Amino acid sequence: MNIVVCIKQVPDAKDVRLDPETNTLSREGVKSVINPYDRHAMEEGVRLKEEFGGKVTVVSMGPPQARAILEEAISCGADDAILVSDRAFAGADTLATTYTLSQAIKKIGAVDLVICGKQATDGDTAQVGPGLAVRLDMAYVTCVQQVSTVTDKVVVLERMMDDGYDEVEVELPALLTVVKEVNTPRFPSIRGLRKARVADIPSYTAEDIGADVAMLGLGGSPTQVVKVFPPEPKGDRTILTGSVDEIAEKLAEIFRESSIGG
């Protein structure tokens, strides 16, 4: 089974915060990491390969420094990695991103299964998986929480819904986006780390993937960000002070009023 996993480098969400005084993003100590959902996508790809044979190729579109997460993917069991990187890709919205990724994946050849994280934690759109499936003319299922059976024709899986889950049988080739419940990602192995150190990771440019430049980056993006501003803080608040007992008494009163009486 030929499996492609798409991953993205994102700022580590737990480090990102707003400076309350200047209302700007505090970058201090913000690391770049693999999008957390993509770790589960990688693990699922490697797990399925181990069970059913085949190969896992990890693809990331991003700036040159995204090579770091591709090396990490290899240390966690991926066979090959490809960086898709070109200044022409900058400013891409999800429509331009799915075009770029689909061109890169078509270059890889016949693919049976593409696995993506449900969404990336920087944009939180969850739109790239479905859009990519359309461009690759694949069936797709989002929010997969369990993959139970894989044959050479179909995959049987569970899709998380708002009110429970659906058991779904999907024809191959297919694209899946996965949620965290799908598996527990492994840590890099010593052998994997050694492999990652010497891995040959090609970098595809817009020309390499035969892309129509008009469909790339900012120019190929129908959506435009017209304004960026900090979220509004709420105005009035009361800070309760006093001894622990006094504070607890006031809290109990507020709780009674706003829940039971309210």
- The residues in 89-118 that bind other proteins, with binding defined as CB under 8 A, are 90-91, 93-95, 98
Token code pair at residue 250: 């006031």
One of 68, 139, 193, 201 touching other proteins (CB under 8 A): 139
State both tokens at 204.
């595809």
Beta bridge partners of 171: 154
Number of residues that bind other proteins (CB under 8 A): 93
Pick from 51, 124, 207, 212: which binds other proteins (CB under 8 A)? 124
**Least distance in angstroms from the C-beta of 194 to other proteins:** 29
Select 185 or 192, whichever has its Cβ closest to other proteins: 185
Cβ within 8 Å of residue 176, ≥6 positions away: 44, 113, 114, 115, 116, 129, 140, 141, 142, 144, 147, 155, 157, 170
Quick check: 87 binds other proteins (CB under 8 A)? Answer: yes
How far apart CA 147 and CA 167 sit, in angstroms, is 10
Binding segment for other proteins (CB under 8 A), chosen from 73-81, 104-112, 141-149, 204-212, is: 141-149
Residue closer to other proteins, measured from CB, 75 or 102 = 102
Q: Is 119 in the site for other proteins (CB under 8 A)?
A: yes
Residue 205 is a binding residue for other proteins (CB under 8 A)? no
Q: Looking only at residues 218 through 247 of this chain, which bind other proteins when binding is defined by CB under 8 A?
A: 218-219, 221-231, 233-234, 236-240, 244-245, 247
Which 161-200 positions form the footprint of other proteins (CB under 8 A)? 161-171, 174, 180-181
**Candidates 49-57, 107-115, 186-194, 251-259; binding stretch for other proteins (CB under 8 A):** 251-259
Q: How distant is the alpha carbon of residue 218 from its chain centre?
A: 21
Closer CB to other proteins, 77 or 173, in the complex: 173
Nearer to other proteins, 198 or 227 (CB): 227
| Three-state SS annotation for 16-68 | CEECCCCCCEECCCCCEEECHHHHHHHHHHHHHHHHHCCEEEEEEECCHHHHH
The residues in 7-26 that bind other proteins, with binding defined as CB under 8 A, are 11, 13-14, 16-18, 20, 22, 24-25
Task: Determine the Cα–Cα distance for residues 220 and 222; give it in Å rounded to an integer.
Answer: 7
**Among residues 100, 75, 145, 91, which one has the least CA distance to residue 123?**
91
Of positions 126, 150, 193, 201, contacts other proteins by CB under 8 A: 126
Question: Please, which of residues 52-71 interact with other proteins by CB under 8 A?
Answer: 63-65
The 8-class DSSP code of residue 208 comes to T
Give the distance from CA 59 to its chain's centroid. 12
Which one of 39-47, 71-79, 106-114, 139-147 is the stretch in contact with other proteins (CB under 8 A)? 139-147
Residue type at 91 in one-letter notation:
G
CA distance 75 to 43: 12
